[in-house]
Amino acid sequence: MLTLKANLIVNNKVKLTTKDSKAFEGVVLPDTNSKKVVLKLDSGYNIGLLISNIKEVKIISKSKKQTSKKETTSKFNKKLPTISILHTGGTIASEVDYETGAVIAKFTPEELLSKFPELKTLCNINSSLIGNMFSEDMRFSHYNKLITAIQKEIKKGTDGIIITHGTDTLAYTSAALAFALEGLNTPILLVGAQRSSDRGSSDAFLNLLGACQYIANSNFSEVGICMHESSDDKSCLILSPTKTKKFHSSRRDAFQSVNGEPIARVFSDGKYENISKIHKTESKLIIRPFKENIKVGILKAHPNMFAKEITNYSAFNGLIIEGTGLGHLPVNETDKETKENSKILKAIKSLSKSIPVFMTTQTTFGRVNLNVYSSGRKLKELEINGDYNDMLSETAFIKMSWLLSNYPKSKVNELMNQNLRGEISKRSSKKKFL
């Protein structure tokens, strides 16, 4: 087994023979599972094989040192704005080397201009690698690193900032930056890609181009998101950092506004139209980062709940509840089968006395109303917070974590109900649904 593993070096081209005499030839790819090997076959497909089922490993060729393609030189043009691109990972600034099967991060100004030469006519580019990670692995410490990097670029005098980011938690990060950067006067757009850049259907180019065009041509100076508007390549939307959700796992138009409208539409030819009013501030930038040890949970209401699910959060600093409908939990004891519901009500009462508990609705669209049904009224009597709000659960999670990081605990419930960054709509409108 040790001999087998020693020959399974990443980027080596090998021929593997299994114990049932099947043969597979391809390039060894990186994999975190030590019990299997993943090969990039000549067909382009990947295959995973258990190492315990491999009889023989034959090395066909050893890993070749990567040779970079000729790169475009980045020359500073005084007539163009300067945009700083901060990379955190994701597919948008990566490309696949089919000789090795490896995904290579492309993040220097020269590499970006080589990959997207159209950017030369729009802006000067500075870029930095903050991290190279899956977005689901991000923690509050990574938000703080981003905040520090943003502050550094603003002090340098950059005209705008683009953050390349994995799509899975992009909306969490946009909300985190919106709350942490108060009095912002510099545009910051988060950009991701649903399709990797080696695919003909990749959305990476238009999303990045749209972000550069909007920063270069508009007076926008807040945090936002730039992603495809539809499945074609006609336009991107500039979306709110606190009222945006990823609705689809793979579609290019996965990101949509919730209980609000997009900020702007950017067309592929560079023209744009503002949809919502642009708010330009003249106040001084105030940085309020996150405490990295803050623990806030998200609990989704569901049938057959148990009180233990509530008490599990007793050691946390705060809790967001995704209630059913208008903001409900199973708290009514109506027969012998619902005795657990009384325990749930008791557990919620105890928890709300020690930590902030905020109600959102798992319907995505609409707002909480704890006054209509008995379930809601019981929760309101326990001073469960969130009545009449239309915040996304993800935004509520980030907001509570940020408030607990920067304000006394006694102020958190009050501030959760205040609209600080456009996260709460004053009125609901039919136009703001789907």
Token code pair at residue 207: 């999303």
Q: How many other C-beta atoms lie within 10 A of the C-beta of residue 294? A: 16
18 is catalytic: no
168 is catalytic: yes
For CA atoms 217, 121, 200, 91, the dihedral sign is negative
Contacts of 369 (CB under 8 A, 6+ apart): 326, 327, 376, 387, 388
For CA atoms 384, 385, 388, 391, the dihedral sign is negative
| Integer Cα distance of 219 and 186 in angstroms | 9
Quick check: 167 and 135 in contact, CB under 8 A? yes
Active-site position among 167, 169, 186, 242: 167
Active-site position among 246, 349, 378, 399: 246
- Which element (helix H / strand E) includes 141? helix 140-156
97 is catalytic: no
5 is catalytic: no
For CA atoms 270, 275, 281, 286, the dihedral sign is negative
Q: Which of 214, 224, 213, 150 is nearest to 191 (CA)?
A: 224
| Integer Cα distance of 112 and 129 in angstroms | 12
Active-site position among 159, 168, 253, 387: 168
| Integer Cα distance of 240 and 47 in angstroms | 40
Q: Which of 161, 409, 390, 210 is nearest to 296 (CA)?
A: 409
First to last CA, the chain: 55
Q: Which amino acid is at 273?
A: E
Q: Give residue for tokens 């550094």.
A: 152
| Integer Cα distance of 331 and 375 in angstroms | 6
Q: Are strands 94-97 and 235-239 parallel, antiparallel or unpaired?
A: unpaired
Token code pair at residue 109: 């100004």
| Integer Cα distance of 136 and 123 in angstroms | 31
Active-site position among 91, 100, 164, 244: 91
| Integer Cα distance of 322 and 396 in angstroms | 10
User: Where in the sequence numbering do the catalytic residues fall?
Assistant: 91, 167-168, 246
